[in-house]
Amino acid sequence: MDAISVIRTKRDRGRLSDAQIDWVIDAYTRGEVADEQMSALAMAILLNGMERREIARWTAAMIDSGERMDFSALPRPTADKHSTGGVGDKITLPLAPLVAACGAAVPQLSGRGLGHTGGTLDKLESIPGWRALLSNDEMMDVLRSVGAVICAAGDGLAPADKKLYALRDVTGTVEAIPLIASSIMSKKIAEGTGSLVLDVKVGSGAFMKNLEDARELASTMVGLGTDHGVRTVALLTDMSTPLGLTAGNALEVRESVEVLAGGGPADVVELTLALAREMLDAAGLPDADPAKALADGSAMDHWRRMIAAQGGDPDAPLPVAREQHVLRAETSGVLTELDAYAVGVAAWRLGAGRARKEDPVQAGAGVELHAKPGDRVTAGAPLLTLHTDTPERFDYALEALTGDAIGITGGTEGTAFAPTPLILDRIA
């Protein structure tokens, strides 16, 4: 085998053989295939695609590059969830303890934010003392005692993906659907969960901007999970406007706790319950009632125990940014547009996100929404509050919110607004 022949096969729109895929993933992980050669292959895959059999084999080779976890010793069925990322997407925080309160075990391996999309681990690290890095034994102990854990993936899970993802990020090949699907699913399958629910975001604040591409990605990932014996289902959900009323680390933790206390924004509650029902059904617990677990406090109890088990203090005050700036409505009418991408970029520029994986984040930075599309606003009323420790960032963040990012239509009672459904499709 040699890298050039593998590259030429895909460059010429051929199908990679199982042997070619196994070899190139293993050789690249070991350093025998150079970054520039794998870059060329990734670009060929982006341009020419892969058949389902190729994607399945590529995913299997990524899994085989490292260890596989085993949760068969747990007394509960396992269910996990993965979101393709969005703005204000704090769903994992209330979802994991909620599903645990209903009888499933949730081994939630999560990541950090990059660019305009927030990271679950960054959000939770705003809680004093909370630890993202757990050993496999510690992870199992938390799952046995609490039923849910949210932590970072260890270096032993799909190391080929870690190396390839970093390369794709700097070579313009992130958008390749076969590589997106195999990247997500290799880690989730190696993680060892028995069932998986995918939240595939669609819209300006998502990676997939249109429904057709989102369906293709969701179908590919559902197929991969099925091929590897993991019961998998996907929901396609709207990300044209931010989820909830906050985008930022401590801001989103605060909002998640409100949901667990029986309150919170209606869209966050709706999506949390929809994903919980899918996870419980996939885990073989279709009769469990997540709405009841929210109402009776058992989900909150599991949240507090989960945070404490990972060193956090669930009663500690969350960080608050030192400076705020209020953006007000310029006219009266109905708010018809609040672009998710623009809000995400603003939060990122305020310090809530990072441009490189090594960058620090501000726990208290972000954007707070005072209205959502469909709400009536009056001139001079607050639309957004910007939070940061470094006020020199305000002007740069406000630049992201100009132009078509915010739309207010009409000033009469008769202004019509047709909201986009939160859940757009289901693929199983």
Q: Which residues does the annotation mark as catalytic?
A: 82, 161, 168, 183, 187
Q: How far apart are CA 83 and CA 71, in angstroms?
A: 22
Q: How far apart are CA 310 and CA 41, in angstroms?
A: 41
Could you write out the DSSP letters of every residue in 61-113?
Answer: HHHHTS-----TTSSS-B-EEEE---SS--THHHHHHHHHHTT-BEEEEE---
Terminal alpha carbon distance of the chain: 37
Dihedral (C-alpha) 22, 25, 30, 33: value to the nearest 10 degrees?
110
Strand 333-338, strand 406-409: pairing: antiparallel
Cα distances (Å, whole numbers) of residue 190 to 23, 58, 164: 19, 13, 16
CA count, 13 A, side-chain hemisphere, 180: 24
Exposed, middle or buried by CB within 10 Å (0-12, 13-18, 19+), for 5? Answer: exposed
Q: How far apart are CA 240 and CA 235, in angstroms?
A: 15
- The pair of structure tokens assigned to 5 is 């022949």
Using the 8-state DSSP alphabet, how is residue 15 labeled?
A: P
Q: How far apart are CA 412 and CA 364, in angstroms?
A: 37
Q: How far apart are CA 90 and CA 259, in angstroms?
A: 11
Nearest to 363 by CA among 136, 14, 129, 107: 129
Contact 202, 238 (CB under 8 A): yes
Cα distances (Å, whole numbers) of residue 245 to 65, 89, 136, 294, 421: 41, 10, 35, 19, 17
